[in-house]
Amino acid sequence: MVKFEYEKDIWKKFIEPKKFAFLLKKIEEKEHCKIIEVNYQLISDKKILEINTKFLNHKYYTDVIAFPRNRGPRKMADIYISVERVQENSQNFGVFFQKELNRVMLHGLLHVLGYNDTEKMDKTLMSSKEDYYLALYDNI
């Protein structure tokens, strides 16, 4: 089950819950896991900074924070996304906001599935997974 919450109602227009739920089924098949529950919260820079500082002791903005609640192959998570960071990233990378938002949503989910991006090889693998699942999403 995938749920979305929005700090501002205007952000709802960027999410396609049914399409994303279908993608999660494809990810389950490919990653050999069961995604029980993912709660996405689209929030402001202010809120993500509060979460980053309080729970991770990081005093900086970020685009996504994922808190896994996994039980073996059963995956559950709360994923927080700063819409303002996604907007800035989309401008910096020269991509459409919607594409960057989808990428960040997948990025958070990939962390929940156990992927990491601290080392160069890990980052390369994670980026290729993002690209693969973005292409699947675009073809749903």
- Round to whole Å and give the CA distance between 9 and 36: 25
Residue 47: which CATH number? 3.40.390.30
Is the pTM here over 0.75, yes or no?
A: yes
Locate all alpha helices (DSSP H) within the chain, ordered by sequence: 17-31, 45-56, 83-93, 97-112, 120-138
User: In a 3-state reduction of DSSP, which class is residue 9?
Assistant: helix
Domain count along the chain: 1
- Per-residue model confidence as pLDDT tens digits over 79-116: 999 999 999 999 999 999 999 999 999 999 999 999 99
Residue 33, domain extent: 2-138
For 78, the token pair is 């709360």
